[in-house]
């Protein structure tokens, strides 16, 4: 026992020595465009998944308060025993309508949705084909299923087609991709992927966690963004990002798939139901998204302004237009130093290094929010420029 504890201490020391130790900074205010840290400092926040600024929205907070009063704190049960509230079903129907799916099923998180899905629907005669940069929860979910596994290079339709050919003898084929790859902010090439899935009779699953609520003309995600709403049979996603930022996830798709998940998905069967107050707040988030064209416009305009500002300053960005704006640094220690210098200037960002991104590809992943003002962004651009110069990241 002592030996294992000592080995953990050594592993931690190794992580620290490599400059890869991830710290945690306590925030004492609600999550928002500006936050107050527990140490009293205030900062413009460029690293939350708070795309629409709903995490502290008064209407969501009020909806949660009302549901706390009407429904209590929690269900103290999984859904099938005595854990289904009217709000759960209302949210599942609301999501299905919003996403253009037949039905939807709630999970405690999208991580759980992805770890429950594949094992429940795929058997050992089936094949699953997964993008190399898919989210950790998809990787884990695929590991848990008995189907044959294939991987294709990130967003590479040519490789996807080759894998689909190799999997031609499987009973069923399932292709899974993130709608937006979270470390780069690049959008999956759904036009090519949908066409291949249709041609090779594969079921497509898109995890739209970094898109649901703000991508596409109606905010319903990457299928709508590409004009393909209705042609992506299954989507998964989170409520922990644009849709209020609390917690929870879902799978939306054909009735029989959702129905089977209610019978078989282990995180659904063996983990507590979503708190009703979170369901109520998420329903309110869907209402705001339905009337939210202005917020989406603000979000995308903020992304364009921030990208232009950083590029103008000479930073190396991952190209794109998504509100994830990654500033490439390369060296993990340097990325950490840049994040620290920015914090001192009142700009809250986080450095991402191995194992979250490949070694030598450390970066500051900034994320835009509709709640950020142009003044916030311009201040942040100046801070980046000064800190980048001081640290020799900019020439
Ligand atoms: C954030 C994220 C998840 C996990 O969502 P949670 O609801 O926080 O568990 C899953 N997939 C992708 C692509 C994500 O970005």
The residue whose CB lies within 8 Å of the most ligand 1 atoms, and thus the one to mutate among 132, 135, 267, is 135
Q: What pLDDT was estimated at residue 20?
A: 79
Number of helices (H), then strands (E), belonging to the chain: the values are 14, 15
Which is the catalytic residue, given 57, 225, 241, 284? 241
Helices (H), the chain: 2-17, 58-71, 86-99, 110-121, 136-144, 157-166, 190-199, 222-225, 255-264, 266-269, 276-290, 293-313, 332-344, 374-390
pLDDT digits (tens, 9 = 90+) for 181-199: 999 999 999 999 999 999 9
- Crossing angle for the helix pair 332-344 and 374-390, to the nearest 10 degrees: 130
CB within 6 Å of ligand 1 — which residues?
A: 109-111, 114, 135, 137, 178, 182, 207, 209-210, 238, 240, 249
pTM assigned to the model: 0.97
Q: Distances in Å between the alpha carbon of 194 and those of 6, 61, 66, 152, 201? A: 50, 38, 42, 15, 10
Q: What pLDDT was estimated at residue 22?
A: 84
pLDDT digits (tens, 9 = 90+) for 217-232: 999 999 999 999 999 9
Q: What pLDDT was estimated at residue 1?
A: 74
Q: What pLDDT was estimated at residue 125?
A: 98
The residue whose CB lies within 8 Å of the most ligand 1 atoms, and thus the one to mutate among 141, 142, 240, is 240
Tell me which DSSP letter residue 150 carries: E
Q: What pLDDT was estimated at residue 41?
A: 95
Q: What pLDDT was estimated at residue 23?
A: 85
Instruction: Decide if 108 contacts 86 (C-beta within 8 A).
Output: no
Instruction: Decide if 170 contacts 127 (C-beta within 8 A).
Output: yes
Element (H, E) at 127: strand 127-131
| Cβ partners under 8 Å of residue 233, min gap 6 | 203, 204, 205, 253, 254
| Cβ partners under 8 Å of residue 94, min gap 6 | 283, 286
Pairing label, strands 34-36, 103-107: unpaired
Annotated catalytic, 71? no
Index of the ligand 1 atom closest to the CA of residue 49 = 1
Q: What pLDDT was estimated at residue 21?
A: 83
Q: What pLDDT was estimated at residue 132?
A: 97
Residues, the chain: 395
Mean pLDDT, 10 residues at a time, over the chain (395 residues)? 94 89 92 96 97 98 98 98 98 98 98 98 98 97 98 98 98 98 96 98 98 98 98 98 98 98 98 98 98 96 98 96 96 93 97 89 97 98 98 91
User: What is the rounded CA–CA span in Å between residue 338 and residue 380?
Assistant: 13
Index of the ligand 1 atom closest to the CA of residue 112 = 9
């Amino acid at each position: 026992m002592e030996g294992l504890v000592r080995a953990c201490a050594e592993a931690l020391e190794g992580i620290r020595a490599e400059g890869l130790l991830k710290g945690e900074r306590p925030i004492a205010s609600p999550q928002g465009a500006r936050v107050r840290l527990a140490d009293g400092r205030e900062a413009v926040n460029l690293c939350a998944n708070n795309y629409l600024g709903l995490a502290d929205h008064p209407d969501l907070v009020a909806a949660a308060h009302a549901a706390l009063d009407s429904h209590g704190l929690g269900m103290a049960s999984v859904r099938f025993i005595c854990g289904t509230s009217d709000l759960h079903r209302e949210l599942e129907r609301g999501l299905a309508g919003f996403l253009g799916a037949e039905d939807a099923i709630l999970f405690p998180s999208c991580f759980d949705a992805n770890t429950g899905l594949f094992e429940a629907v795929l058997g050992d005669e089936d094949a699953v084909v997964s993008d190399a940069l898919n989210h950790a929860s998809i990787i884990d979910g695929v590991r848990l299923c008995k189907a044959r596994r294939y991987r294709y290079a990130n967003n590479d339709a040519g490789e996807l087609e080759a894998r689909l050919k190799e999997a031609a003898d499987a009973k069923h084929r399932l292709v899974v991709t993130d709608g937006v790859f979270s470390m780069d902010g690049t959008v999956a090439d759904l036009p090519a992927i949908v066409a291949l899935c249709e041609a090779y009779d594969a079921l497509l699953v898109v995890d739209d966690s970094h898109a649901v609520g703000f991508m596409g003309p109606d905010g319903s995600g990457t299928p709508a963004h590409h004009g393909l709403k209705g042609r992506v049979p299954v989507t998964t996603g989170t409520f922990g990002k644009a849709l209020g930022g609390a917690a929870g996830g879902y799978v939306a798709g054909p009735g029989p798939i959702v129905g089977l998940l209610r019978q078989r998905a282990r995180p659904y069967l063996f983990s507590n139901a979503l708190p009703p107050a979170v369901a109520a707040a998420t329903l309110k988030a869907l209402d705001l998204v339905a009337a939210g064209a202005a917020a989406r416009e603000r979000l995308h305009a903020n992304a364009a302004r921030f990208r232009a500002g950083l590029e103008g300053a000479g930073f190396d960005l991952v190209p794109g237009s998504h509100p994830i704006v990654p500033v490439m640094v390369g060296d993990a220690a340097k990325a950490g130093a840049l994040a620290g210098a920015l914090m001192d200037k009142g700009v809250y960002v986080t450095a991402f290094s191995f194992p979250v991104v490949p070694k030598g590809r450390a970066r500051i992943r900034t994320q835009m929010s509709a709640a950020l003002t142009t003044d916030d962004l311009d201040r942040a651009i100046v801070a980046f420029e000064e800190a980048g110069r001081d640290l020799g990241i900019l020439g």
